[in-house]
Structure 1
Amino acid sequence: MTIEHTDRSTDVVEHPEQFTNPGLPPHRPRLGDEDPKANKLSERIVLAIFTVSVLASIASIVGYFAIPVDPEAGSMGNTRLSTIVIGVGLGLGMLGIGVAAIHWAKSLMNDHDKVEERHEIAGDEETRGTAVEMFNEGVRDASIARRPLLKGAVGGALALAPLPFLVPLIGNLGGDWDVSRFKRTAWAPGDNGDRVYLATDPTNRRIKAAEVTVGSLFHVMPWNLPEHPNYLDEKAKAVVLLVRLDPQDLKETEERASWSYDGIVAYSKICTHVGCPVALYERETHHLLCPCHQSTFDVTDEAKVVFGPAGRALPQLPIDVDENGYLVAQRDFDEPIGPSFWERER
Structure 2
Amino acid sequence: MTQLDKHPGGEPVHGEGDGHDSHLPVADEPIANPGLPEHTWRPTDVDEDAAKRAERQVSTLFGLSAVFTVLFVVAYFAIEIGDSWDTFGGLGASTLALGMCLGIALILIGVGIIQWARKLMADHEIVEMRHPSRSSDEDRAATVEALNTGLEESGIARRPLIRRSLLGAVAILPLPAVIMLRDLGPTPGQVANAEEGTGLEHTLWGVRPEVRVVRDVIGTPIRPTDIEVGDLVNGIPDGLLDLEGVELQVAKAKAAVILVKMEPDDIKSSQGEDWIVDGVLCFSKICSHVGCPISLYERTTHHVLCPCHQSTFDLSDSAKVIFGPAGRPLPQLPLKLDDAGYLVAQSDFQQPVGPSYWSREK
Which is greater in Rg?
Answer: 2
Q: Given the two structures, how large is their TM-score scaled by the length of structure 2?
A: 0.45
Name which structure has the greater RCO, CA cutoff 8 Å, separation 6+: 1
TM-score (norm 1): 0.47
